[in-house]
Amino acid sequence: MRESIIMKIHYGTALAAVALVAVHILFRMTQKFSDSLSYQNVIANYHFLPYALMLEVVLILLSVHGFNGLRVILLELKQGVAYERAINYGSIAATVALVAYGSRTILMAGMGMS
């Protein structure tokens, strides 16, 4: 992929995340901070579908942005065809893994499987 496309994704994810993370944090502020983290409250959040969906989106955005950021740093640290290929695929794998792991939580908590 052209580097410009990757970096546009990097910036795009960041911008989109700004708004959504703000919502995520504001949710923590609707009540006393520690109450917002009580088990019932959190589960209730997950059951609220739009919020759960938003969490999923935030998860994807930040994983993509964060691991691409890490990829950039690693690409700059060391060069070499094999190394760079490993970094590129490695960061995709890491992104996928983190998203999968996070989605599992959202899915399971949201479906009331716990």
Q: Binding residues for ligand HEM, per CB under 6 A?
A: 11, 14, 17-18, 21, 62, 65-66, 69-70, 72-73
Q: How far is the CB of 31 from other proteins (least distance, A)?
A: 12
CA torsion sign for 46, 49, 53, 55 is negative
Q: How far apart are CA 35 and CA 40, in angstroms?
A: 9
Query: Which residue, among 3, 15, 22, 17, has the nearest Cα to 68 in the 3D structure?
Result: 3
Q: Show the site string, 65-104: x = touches other proteins by CB under 8 A, - = not.
A: -xx-xx-xx-xxxxx----x-------------x--xx-x
State yes or no: residue 16 binds other proteins (CB under 8 A): no
43-76 in b/e form (b: 16+ CB < 10 A) is eebbeeeebbebbbebbbbbbbbbbbeebbebee
Chain residues that interact with other proteins, rule: CB under 8 A: 2-4, 6-8, 11, 14-15, 18, 21, 32-34, 37, 39, 42-43, 46, 59, 62-63, 66-67, 69-70, 72-73, 75-79, 84, 98, 101-102, 104-105, 108-109, 113-114
